Amino acid sequence: MTVIDRSNRNAWVNAVVTDDDVAADVRQPDLFKSLTEIELDTVLARARLRKLTSDETLFLQGATHEGVFAIKSGMIRTYYSGPSGREITLAYWGPGNLVGTPEVLSKSVHVWSGTAVGPTEVYFFSGENMRQLISEIPRFAVAMIEALEFKGKCFSTLIHMLGTNSVPERLCLLLRNLVAIHGVEQKNGIVLGAPFTHEALAQMLGCSRQWVTISLDRLQTKGIVKVGNRSLLIRRPDLL
């Protein structure tokens, strides 16, 4: 019997869900939660476990797509690289999340890249194995549809945010979301630490690091945040 830590089922991470209408549910449906133990054993028996070190590439934009990955532990950052080399972060994904999409079954090419944020373990499912599992286990097929549906909503929200909000507005929406998912409460506020540096925030917002620094300085002047060397203290999350 495969042993999975089901206590961490809600540890989904997505850094692009910043719209108020979506903020109430920022966690992707658990890919394995609905499965019986026998079904879970069957699914993981078709997978190959891979261990990654910090900053190691899991899949690369433009490379042949061989399958998808379910995160067992750690975190994966997905990002798109433009012709100029500029990157925009699409999301940070935690345990249980599915990455390597939107392709699932076909052997096309990856349309963006995925990199480990710290030591990470993932289960790899080839397109053929995934096709078989979807055919054999209806609950798993439904879980896959729910996961892909959630991702579609996330990327739709990202497009809307980048197309309709100014940089300061985007930053406030993003911080509100990150606080809800990653914030650590302290007496004087909520702390955001690694990996959410100024550069990481800029890559999520589609702007320069300088714009992030300027916007954070303005929020600090208003007493809403306090900028530290390697962390960000949100003093008044209610004002974001």
- 124: phi > 0 → left, psi -120 to 50 → alpha, else beta; which? beta
Q: Which of the two residues, 237 and 114, has the higher pLDDT score?
A: 114
Question: pLDDT tens digits for 182-226?
Answer: 788 888 899 988 788 898 898 888 888 899 999 999 999 999 999
pLDDT at 97: 86
pTM, two decimal places: 0.76
User: What is the mean pLDDT of the segment spanning 50-63?
Assistant: 96
Distance CA 153, CA 173 (A): 16
Question: pLDDT tens digits for 128-159?
Answer: 999 999 999 999 999 999 988 888 887 787 88
Handedness of CA 179, 180, 182, 188 (dihedral sign): positive
pLDDT at 93: 86
Question: Mean of the per-residue pLDDT values for the chain?
Answer: 84
Short-list 187, 163, 175, 186, CA closest to 224? 175
Which percentage of the chain shows pLDDT scores above 70? Answer: 88
Structural domains of the chain sorted by starting position, each given as residue range(s) with its CATH number in brackets? 9-164 (2.60.120.10), 167-239 (1.10.10.10)
